[in-house]
Amino acid sequence: GNGAILVNKEGKRFVSEMETRDVVSAAILQQTDGVCYMVFDQAVRDSLKAIESYITAGIVFESDTVEGLAEQLSMDPAALRQTMDTYAGYAQAGVDEEFGRIDTSMGSDLTTPSFYACLCAPAVHHTMGGVKINASCDVIHASGSALPGLFAAGEVTGGVHGANRLGGNAVTDIVVFGRIAGREAAKEKPWA
């Protein structure tokens, strides 16, 4: 959201970086080797202190030039240069003619040296499926009835987040539904 772009191993953008995680992940998986690079400039680095932990970890490529960055990534320098120049024009105009990224999310025009890249690939960090629950966190059988004494909360449940979970919402999900499930389970006292 601070202005980085995603490019494939050929040095080309392939998706609006601000799409939902499922859309971006599917697009990445269609690229060579199912990976891409997140590319940004010094202005983006300066705007987001979280990047420093990636740099300290040694997972970020860095160069004073776009072409030097492309060489480190084993991609065609001319292709990455063209992608960067095209994106800079979009950012300056406030209109992404290729992928429709909105101007408020473009941030930097990615023209301020130094230039950076890190390898990106989709990973599962939250499941979206699972057992159905009701407002009391009872697990619901396929027939539609609650299964007595069986409660669920967190990632094991499905349908709580809709079609696409927003980052950070899982914590609220765990706390809220975990408390409800615990309270309801305590009411039953199956051990008494």
What residues pair up with 139 in beta bridges, in sequence order? Answer: 133
pLDDT for residue 22? 85
More reliable by pLDDT, 43 or 125: 43
pLDDT, tens digit, for every residue of 147-166?
999 999 987 887 776 666 66
pLDDT for residue 68? 98
Mean pLDDT of 33-41: 98
User: Out of 26-40, 113-127, 166-180, which region has the weakest mean confidence (pLDDT)?
Assistant: 166-180
> What is the dihedral angle through the alpha carbons of 120, 123, 129, 133, rounded to the nearest 10 degrees?
-100
pLDDT for residue 120? 97
Closest CA to 34 of 43, 26, 42, 44: 26
For 64-98, give the DSSP string: SSHHHHHHHTTS-HHHHHHHHHHHHHHHHHTB-TT
Q: Is 81 a catalytic residue?
A: no
Note whether 98 and 25 are within 8 A (CB): no
Mean pLDDT of 118-147: 88
Mean pLDDT of 92-103: 90
Catalytic residue among 21, 81, 101, 165: 21
Mean pLDDT of 51-71: 97
Kind and range of the H or E run holding 62: strand 61-63
Note whether 42 and 6 are within 8 A (CB): no
pLDDT for residue 192? 58
